[in-house]
Structure 1
Amino acid sequence: MTQTEPLTLPLDAWHRKHGARMVPFAGFAMPLQFAGILAEHEWTRTSASLFDVSHMGQISASGAGAIPLLESLLPTAVANLAPGRIRYALLLNEAGGIIDDLMLTRRAEDFLLIVNGATRLSDLAYMQGVAAPDAAVTLAEDQALLALQGPLAAKVLDALVPGIAALSFMTAAAFAWEGARLWISRSGYSGEDGFEISLPAAAATAFADALIADERCRPAGLGARDSLRLEAGLPLYGHDLDENTDPLSAGLGFALSPARMAAGGFNGHAALARLAAAGPTNLRVGLALEGRLPAREGAVVMHDGHEVGRVTSGGFSPSLSHPIALAFVPPALAKEGTSLTVQVRGKDLPARITPLPFVPHRYVRKGSV
């Protein structure tokens, strides 16, 4: 395989069988859409959609040295993370920039880090390059990862895997289905209730078939996943976040443990401490645009005739029926209701700062079916 050929997902043939339009993404051939982005977006909002996110890296940190290793890399309180609990976490460089954002889960035997697909190998190398006695860091090569999202996701999944309804948002547990071991978390990146299911790649096709045999569940692709996460106001690594973006500017201060910030001892602590004292020079904000023309990544944000920022993610919101975008602007302008303009195709489109998320999250914090 040459470097220009995308890798295939365990469900590659399944996607093609079900009419997916495949596109390259994060080094993989990924389904962009099946029935259409708008239809898949709306189905996720009202029923349950199956997304294949197997391109994401599933990294395990195990051994007696796993906690010291992770606490040297993440500004997260790792030692007090209870088994079955999940925390959103950030992998930082010495300048406080975001190498990756990830989900950290404590399992009985190890810690599971779900990292972005495009950065999975560099994340692995970075973590393995840190001296860590009695710690092993490995990337799962034979696991698939599926995301079942939407208000009926719990009903659909519980019909196959009884007991998942006991999970609440940001918790996880081990289950079994037809002899396959599943690790299921109540989480996702759509803003809706949902689950992420890690399972052996060999079982992925049969499990996907079983899910969509339920008329309430349909397959969905990258297009709907992106429009949903944008409406949810969630940042996308490589677009809204990168190594030159710090957590405070990105509005991710909640991922910085106060105790860890006080004690230090992790990459980027000194830089973040200075930034916290001085205050960030830009802040991530939500923009609501007038009309129907969407502003895409890189569009210039203007105020009183001067450039004040750039759009990092943008598109048309199916749920709100107008364009929305994420951008970074100076703190003085990052106030709800501030009027700005965004340059799109030679036009200055009126925009205003609006609270995030654009569409309220509907996470279930107590399991119910």
Structure 2
Amino acid sequence: MALLTLPLDAWHRARGGRMVEFAGYLMPVQYEGIIAEHQWTRENAGLFDVSHMGQLFVSGEDADAALEAVLPIDLATLKLGALRYSLLLDADGGILDDLIVSRWREGLFLVVNGATKWDDIAWLREQLPDAVTLNHLDERALLALQGPAAFAALDRLASGEHPLAALTFMRGGRFMLGGVEAWISRSGYTGEDGFEISVPAEAAVAVADLLCGAPEVKPIGLGARDSLRLEAGLPLYGHDLSPETDPVSADLAFAINKRRRAEGGFPGAERILGLLTSGAPRRRIGLSLEGRMAAREGAKVFAGDREVGIVTSGGFSPTLQRPIAMAYVDSDLAAEGTALSLEMRGKRLDARIVPMPFVPHRYHR
């Protein structure tokens, strides 16, 4: 299939973005360098183009009940303007995708992963009743402004019914941004304070120019987004999450709240509720490696000569100045401080289980 382009494709190229294939799109992996962009975001504010992600809108009679039948979410507690992390699960409790659900006045706004959005749309349309409408908002772009200076930069530009400062982590609202109506939520996937901004695709260039006109803001590529989310201990679908993983093993049981645990009624509930009671046979953990060589996805994990797991994400941490990784290991070896080794290029790398996030989150709560 031909690769798709983002609304900002020419904008990225004009600013020196090196374009690569990702999730069926051509996307900028870097501009001036991954480490420099990573550090800029940690110290200032970076603008990420995440328009490849799926923006969906669910509305109609009993939309809440219809979504609760396919997601392990309690929508009765989701207030207007609030966001909630959730999971799309198969009949065995395997993770088909992770996503964010927001309550708008008119219905429910979902943001799903770009690599899975077409499958998600097909699956949801098959599962949802005829009285519920699912719209793919493919005429919209999605930008993420992340970093400690993100609020200061955006606050000078955005106006709305409520001040931008009223938004805390996982809250959103409608604002005007340079004459463009935008849905802005205080969220993101870097571990930093920041915002995700949904705007009409035809306004994406004007909004990106407006934001990058602020001295605190630079465009940032996929490379730094990945190193930031790894430091934040955040799983990436297709790497750390898949239909072969379940929410308990993935350390995402928080996404299944008290009422849904008591009532069930979501795909894979029987298996997942059993794992919550008895424990999962393996767990997603964080690893700090000795030396300078980074472990990559697929590296085998050993306890002595016993193979006990596999690395799902890994790289060199620019903030910590050492290699870090996420892996799934047997639960009896998942305790903090456990010494393990990883096999890379025929060599064994010493590693130790450490808490995640590797770098503390700085969300504005």
TM over 0.5, yes or no? Answer: yes
**Out of 61, 64, 68, which is 2:65 matched to?**
68
Runs of 4+ aligned residues of structure 1 deviating over 4 Å after TM superposition are none
CA distance in 2 between counterparts of 1:26 and 1:164 reads 32
Q: In the alignment, residue 231 of structure 1 is paired with which amino acid?
A: E
Tell me if the contact between 1:169 and 1:187 (Cα under 8 Å) persists in the aligned partners.
yes
Partner of 1:214: 214
- AA matched with 1:30: M
Q: Does 1:90 align with 2:92?
A: no
Q: How does 1:191-202 map to 2 (within 5 A)?
A: 191-202=191-202
Secondary structure in 2 aligned to 1:95? coil
Rounded to whole Å, the distance in 2 between the matches of 1:269 and 1:254 is 14
Q: State the match for 2:12 in structure 1.
A: 15
The superposition leaves residues 113-157 of structure 1 with CA deviations (integer Å, 9 ceiling, x where unpaired) of 100001111101101001414210111111000000000000001
Aligned position for 2:55? 58
**CA shift at 1:304, angstroms?**
1.4
Report the equivalent of 1:267. 267
Alignment of 1:278-317 (within 5 A): 278-317=278-317
Unaligned runs of 5+ in 1: none
1:206 Cα deviation from its structure 2 partner:
0.7
Partner of 1:102: 99
1:94–1:271 CA contact under 8 A, matched in 2:
no
**Aligned counterpart, 2:333:** 333
Contact 2:178 2:207 in 1 (8 A): no
Q: Which residue of 1 aligns with 2:108?
A: 111
RMSD, matched Cα: 0.9
The match for 1:33 is 30
Task: Tell me the secondary structure at the aligned position of residue 119 of structure 2.
Answer: helix
Corresponding residue SS for 2:69: helix
SS at structure 1 position matched to 2:261:
helix
Superimposed CA distance per residue, residues 50-94 of structure 1 (whole angstroms, 9 cap, x where no aligned partner): 000000000111112211111001111012210100110001111
**What amino acid maps onto 2:248 in structure 1?**
L
Q: CA deviation at 1:261?
A: 1.4
SS across alignment from 2:342: strand
CA–CA separation in structure 2 for the residues paired with 1:233 and 1:336:
15
CA distance in 1, matches of 2:263, 2:296: 40
The secondary structure found in structure 1 opposite 2:197 is strand
Q: Does 1:42 align with 2:28?
A: no
Contact 2:191–2:228 (8 Å) recurs in 1: yes
Deviation per CA, 1:4-37: give whole Å up to 9, x if none. x210000000000000000000000000001100
Q: Secondary structure at 1:79's aligned position in 2?
A: helix
Query: Which moved further from structure 2: 142-151 or 326-335?
Result: 326-335
Contact 2:190/2:229 (<8 A) preserved: yes
Deviations 1:154-202 (A, max 9, x none): 0001111042222100000011224321000000000000000000001
Letter in 1 for 2:143: L
**Could you tell me which residue of structure 2 aligns to residue 186 of structure 1?**
186
Q: Distance in 1 between matches of 2:9 and 2:97?
A: 26
Equivalent position to 2:120, from 123, 146, 156: 123
Partner of 1:241: 241
| 2:157–2:178 Cα contact (<8 Å) kept | no
Q: Which runs of 5+ in 2 are unaligned?
A: none
Q: SS of the residue aligned with 2:75?
A: coil
Q: What residue number does 1:324 align with?
A: 324
Letter in 2 for 1:310: I
Aligned match of 2:173: 173
The count of aligned residue pairs is 362
User: How far apart are the structure 2 equivalents of 1:247 and 1:236?
Assistant: 13
Aligned identity (percent) is 56
SS in 2 for 1:117: coil
Q: Is the 8 A contact 1:186 1:194 kept in 2?
A: yes
1:150 maps to which of 147, 163, 172: 147
1: CA distance, partners of 2:261 / 2:122 = 25
Matching residue within 132, 138, 141 for 2:135: 138
Counterpart AA for 1:155:
A
